[in-house]
Amino acid sequence: MTRTEAAHRRIEVALGGHSYPVIIGAGARHELPGVVAGLGARRVAVVSARPLDEVPDPGVPSLVLRARDGEEDKTLAGVQEMCRAFARFGLTRTDAVISIGGGTTTDSVGLAAALYHRGVPVVHLPTSLLAQVDASVGGKTAVNLPEGKNLVGAYWQPKAVLCDTDYLRTLPPREWTNGYGEIARCHFIGAGDLRGLPVDEQIAASVALKASVVSADERDTGPRHTLNYGHTLGHALERATDFALRHGEAVAVGTVFAGRLAGALGRIGRARVAEHLEVVRAYRLPTALPADVDPAALVALMRLDKKAMRGLTFVLDGPNGVELVPDVPEGVVLDALAAMPRATP
C-alpha cells in the first residue's frame, strides 16, 4: 500500500455478498485500476461528466462516453443511449461500467448498469460534494419523468465508490452549497455536529451514517426513510422552481421546514425547532421559500412523493427520534408553509 492509499479513509457498506468499500481522500481515483482488476473486467465503459484529462486510466481497454451533470439529462432516453453504446462496444456482463460526475450522473449511469444485460458491475467516482456525501452511496439509481423526480429506478449497489476530494477543488461556490444541504440534514439524523470539520471528515461522517442505515435497510422499507429528512418539501421545491433551486438548496429549506412542522405537531420543542434554522444557517444555506412558490402547488407536489403511502408523509424529528410520519393534516402543512419566511425576489 502506498502512502497516499494509506491516507485514504475506507468505509464499508456491509451488505453481505454485495458489500463494497467507499474510499475517501485526495487521489482516491487512482485506485480505480486495482478495483477494476479485482472485478476481473476485461474492458470498461466510462461515462464521464468531467474533462477527459480528469478521467483516470482504468487499466483495461475502455470506451469513454461524455455526459452532462443536470436534472434535464436524467432521462430514460439518456439511459437508452448509454446502453446502446455499451452494446456497440461489446460490453458483457463480466465487464464493468464506471461513472464520473455528480449525483445526476451517478444516478443515471447506475440505472443503465442495472438494466444492461440485467445488471453489470458499476463503480462510481463522484466528483461533486453532493454526490460524495450522498448520491453515489446506497445503490439507489433513478431517472426523472415529466411527472416527477426519480420515479423510474432500481436498486443496484456499486462495487466500489471512490470519493476523490481533489475533484472538489474546481467546484463553483453554488456546488459547495448544494453538497452542504445534505451534510446539514445529517445533523438531525445521527451524524452529530459536523460544522467546522475538514471536508474529508464531513464526507466520511455522512457516508458512515448512510452506510449504517443502508446496511440495516437496503430496500427502503423502514429506517432508510430517515435519510430523506428535509426531502419531501425539498423535492417539491425543485419541481416547483423547474430545478432553478438546486437539490441541496431545496433540502436545506426542507430541513428548516421539517423542524417547523415537527414543532407545529408538538413533536419537538421550540429550542429544537430553532436548532434546525441555526444549523442550516451555519452552512450558509438558504432557509426561506422562494418568493413566488404557491403553497397549494407545493402540497400537491408533496402528495406525489414516493414515501406518501398514506396522505401527506414526512420524515420528522420527535420524542423517539426521527421517524416517518404519515397522514399529516393538510391544514397543518399549509399553516407551516405560510409561516415560513420568503426569499427576497
Mind listing the pLDDT tens digit for each residue in 23-42? 999 999 999 999 999 999 99
**2 pLDDT higher than 80:** no
Q: pLDDT over 70 for what percent of the chain?
A: 97
Q: Residues of 241-273 as b/e, b for ≥16 C-beta within 10 angstroms?
A: eebebbbbbbbbbbbbbbbbbbbbbebbeeeeb
Where does the pLDDT of residue 321 fall: very low under 50, low under 70, confident under 90, or very high at 90 and above? very high
Report phi then psi at 217, rounded to 5: -155, 75
Q: Which helix (H) or strand (E) holds 299?
A: helix 295-302
Q: In 3D, which of 96, 150, 104 has the Cα closest to residue 122?
A: 96
Radius of gyration of the chain (CA): 20
The span from the first CA to the last CA of the chain, in angstroms, equals: 54
**How many C-beta atoms lie closer than 10 Å to residue 18's C-beta?**
13
- The mean pLDDT of the chain is 94
Distance CA 272, CA 275 (A): 5
Which three three-digit cell numbers place residue 197?
470539520
**5 pLDDT higher than 70:** no
| pLDDT tens column, 218-273 | 988 888 999 999 999 999 999 999 999 999 999 999 999 999 999 999 999 999 99
Q: pLDDT over 90 for what percent of the chain?
A: 89
For 191-256, give the DSSP string.
S---TTS-HHHHHHHHHHHHHHHHHH-TTSSSGGGGGGTTHHHHHHHHHHTTT-S-HHHHHHHHHH
Q: In 3D, which of 72, 132, 79, 145 has the Cα closest to residue 103?
A: 132
Check residue 3 and give its pLDDT. Answer: 43
Distance CA 79, CA 116 (A): 9
Distance CA 180, CA 264 (A): 26
| pLDDT tens column, 133-192 | 999 999 999 999 988 788 899 999 999 999 999 999 999 999 999 999 999 999 999 999
In this predicted model, which residue has the larger pLDDT, 222 or 95? 95
**46 pLDDT higher than 70:** yes
